[in-house]
């Protein structure tokens, strides 16, 4: 019987179990506990593991099977999205206001809460200051209309969250990320879990073992930088 591993903040931040030991139910749950230090977060991403938990829960670490991914050259730009990019006055920037983007992603949606806790926000702001986490801002008329953020290691971008305050704004952000991927040396965008929104943009499922193999092929060496 599979059981999750409990991590101690005092233990080696690289001490994650093999992702293949993740539970079948709930799907992909691998470990709990630990902390959100830069060393532990980067250690997790190098192994294809990410944190996701609700307020009041311990930190939960996931490695789902299959893994939802987007190859930048397979991004699906619909006719309506192309028209929105051309005609609706959106402007795009990178790393110009990371905190505003993560706050936009953390805002409650509908009747639900948010999984981006105060501790999670602080952890990714720190990763951004270290050059590992990045944001894409989409503005219209000077106001932030949407965006997304994630972590870049080697040739992978691990997408964490996106938001829209105006129709299509998050799609514009992802389109900009896909367009800039060749220049930034990004060969794969990790979307973590499937959704109709992501599938409409070209994301696809990969078996966890294949995703783990791609981690090794594309490399996850730390390459801290600030995007412009």
The pLDDT score that the predictor gives to residue 115 is 87
Q: For all residues of the chain together, what is the average pLDDT?
A: 94
pLDDT by residue (tens digit) across 139-154?
999 999 999 999 999 9
- For the chain, which domains are there? 5-64 (3.30.70.3550), 68-218 (3.40.630.70)
Q: Give me the long-range contacts of 218-222 (CB less than 8 A, separation at least 24).
A: 218/154, 218/155, 218/156, 218/187, 218/188, 219/154, 219/155, 220/45, 220/46, 220/153, 220/154, 220/156, 221/153, 221/154, 222/42, 222/132, 222/153, 222/154
Q: Low-confidence residues of the chain, pLDDT below 70?
A: 1, 110-113
Instruction: Identify which of 19, 32, 33 has the alpha carbon closest to the alpha carbon of residue 66.
Output: 19
Distance of CA 223 to the CA centre of its chain: 17
pLDDT score recorded for residue 100 = 98
Q: What are the start-end ranges of the E strands in 126-176?
A: 133-140, 143-153, 156-164
Residues 6+ apart with CB under 8 A from 201: 70, 75, 76, 171, 174
């Amino acid at each position: 019987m599979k059981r999750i591993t409990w991590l101690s903040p005092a233990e080696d931040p690289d001490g994650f179990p093999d992702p293949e030991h993740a539970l079948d139910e709930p799907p992909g749950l691998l470990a709990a506990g630990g902390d959100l230090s830069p060393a532990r977060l980067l250690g997790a991403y190098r192994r294809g593991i990410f944190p996701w938990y609700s307020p009041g829960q311990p930190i939960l670490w996931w490695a789902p099977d299959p893994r939802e991914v987007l190859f930048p050259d397979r991004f699906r730009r619909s006719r309506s999205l192309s028209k929105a990019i051309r005609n609706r006055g959106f402007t795009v920037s990178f790393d110009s206001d990371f905190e505003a983007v993560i706050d936009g992603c953390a805002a409650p949606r509908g009747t639900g809460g948010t999984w981006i806790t105060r501790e999670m926000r602080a952890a990714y702001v720190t990763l951004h200051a270290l050059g590992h986490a990045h944001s894409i801002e989409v503005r219209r008329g000077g106001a932030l209309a949407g965006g997304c953020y994630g972590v870049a290691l080697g040739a992978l971008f691990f997408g964490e969250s996106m938001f829209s305050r105006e129709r299509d704004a998050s799609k514009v952000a992802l389109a900009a990320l896909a367009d800039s991927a060749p220049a930034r040396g990004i060969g794969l965008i990790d979307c973590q879990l499937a959704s109709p929104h992501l599938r409409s943009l070209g994301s696809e499922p990969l078996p966890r073992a294949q995703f783990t193999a791609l981690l090794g092929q594309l490399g996850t060496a730390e390459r801290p930088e600030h995007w412009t």
